Amino acid sequence: MLHKNSQDRYDKLKKVFHRLMRNFNRDDLDDFIATANSMPDWMNDDPSLIQEQRDHLARFTVQESMDWQICHQIANRQKHPKPPRQSGAGLQVKSVQVKAGAPGILLTPFPQIIGAGEEIFIDYGGHRESALAFVIRTFKHFHYIFEMARLPPAKRKIPTLADLAGM
């Protein structure tokens, strides 16, 4: 086993997230999605997690969660060359488009750009979603679970995007 527990898997997810913030590309996006998709299985078997961590995971992985459906469906499509039968999910990922030249996001007050690299969009149900936005939202869920949920509420500080990106 390369990773021994859910914390190790989260540490990997965080490293891949930071790589994506420096250079957004399909290979690291694939790693991010595969790792995020594996997190529930790792977390369900981890006795070190507290109830609040489990509750937040349960709220994230519901059928109605757009980000979880995108993550889960793309991960399954990357594992299986033939698409599985359509499930009862309301959201169905139809395609992913990739092109060079994404400008990224300018973080202020310091002139730092994150997410520049390949411009990747996810098409589902007539909507087009930025893969960069999806990655940031998905990482925020796991960041909360592993870095904030154990803290008393009074000690929790909502991180900025620069904090999350490691800038």
Tell me the pLDDT tens digit for each residue of 1-27. 787 889 999 999 999 999 999 999 999
Please report whether residue 83 resides in a domain. Answer: yes
Please report whether residue 85 resides in a domain. Answer: yes
Domain assignment of residue 30, given as a range: 6-165
Count of domains in the chain?
Answer: 1
Please report whether residue 110 resides in a domain. Answer: yes
Helix, strand and coil percent figures for the chain, each rounded to 5: 50, 15, 30
Counting residues of the chain whose pLDDT is more than 90, the rounded percentage is 75
What confidence score (pLDDT) does residue 108 get? 83
Please report whether residue 1 resides in a domain. Answer: no
Please report whether residue 84 resides in a domain. Answer: yes
Please report whether residue 60 resides in a domain. Answer: yes
Give pLDDT < 50 ranges for the chain.
none
